[in-house]
Amino acid sequence: MRWSWNYAWNGNEQEQEIIDGAARLNTQDPRWCVLIPCLNEEAAIKGVVESALALGVPVIVVDDGSDDRTPEIVAALPVTLLRHPQRCGKGEALRTGFREALRLNYDAVVTMDGDGQHLASDVPRIAAAAARYPNHIVIGARLLEREQQPTGRRRANAVADWGISWACAQPVADTQSGQRWYPRDALELVDLPAENFVFEAAILITASREKRVGIVSVPIASRYQGEFRLSHFSPVRDVSRITLYTVGRILHYGHIVASYRRSRASAPIVFDSVAAG
């Protein structure tokens, strides 16, 4: 299947397309919001939050102890702003946002990073996939324009997909993407003992193995160009942590060969409402 999607921001015309798409989705259940964890994103956060607000859904921003103008910028916008007094890591920022979403009785959240690499214009397609596949985690998978990915990052992501799919006992496309739809069954795993970037892998694995949550991907563009700040992700430290956690989960759940075969038995589910018509 070939996908065609315009990722460039075309001003008022594309903004109206976003609003119209989200408005159609918001006439249906479930109730959902956008969750944006952020750390020192003063250069991009205003545009990211405003584009999310244009969807017409509530927005929760969790500031993870920024020491720049990020909290001040967000505080001037009509969102729920939660702040950590000091840096606690992305896992704890997501955990704080999940707890707030559960407190407000949302059925799902869509996560977006605060640096601008995720576009709100992709969210209506992610929500459409969630409607097509109830009780699935939906990943905005960087399957388009992959030539923009640095070779080392692309190879590391492929290894992560192989290992985490094994731990999930189902095939998953782009296990490292932070743009995701989390249904309530996944949100309820908020107290998983995993920190930093490991938390996102832990949610995928535990939701798959213990709650039988499916995983589907929506193709989005790989975005490694532009004014994005250096990633908070450490290739050595965080890859090591994720690898150790994943291996531990594979051993914990047992049936190692059967789990591997299930992870390789078919291609990951990829759904695009645009391509599907």
**Residue type for 255, please?**
H
DSSP conformation class of 122: G
Averaged confidence pLDDT in the chain: 87
Rounded average pLDDT over 148-164: 81
85 C-beta neighbours (distance < 10 Å), count: 6
pLDDT score of 62 more than 50: yes
pLDDT score of 245 more than 70: yes
Write out pLDDT tens, residues 10-52.
344 444 554 455 544 444 567 999 999 999 999 999 999 999 9
**Phi-psi region at 254: left, alpha or beta (left = phi > 0; alpha = psi -120 to 50):** left
251 vs 2, higher pLDDT: 251
- Give the rounded percent of residues in the chain with a pLDDT score beyond 70: 81
DSSP conformation class of 148: G
Stretch among 17-21, 88-92, 103-107 having the lowest mean pLDDT: 17-21
**Stretch (H or E) spanning 224:** none
* Nearest of 44, 221, 220 to residue 115 by alpha carbon: 44
12-268 CATH fold: Spore Coat Polysaccharide Biosynthesis Protein SpsA; Chain A (3.90.550)
- Give the rounded percent of residues in the chain with a pLDDT score beyond 90: 72
pLDDT at res. 19: 47
160 vs 232, higher pLDDT: 160
pLDDT at res. 228: 56
Residue 176 banded pLDDT, cuts 50, 70, 90 = very high
pLDDT at res. 61: 98
**Phi-psi region at 56: left, alpha or beta (left = phi > 0; alpha = psi -120 to 50):** left
CB 240 within 8 A of CB 163: no
pLDDT score of 3 more than 60: no
Tokens encoding 257: 């060969």
CA distance 63 to 129: 28
Write out pLDDT tens, residues 233-242.
666 677 889 9
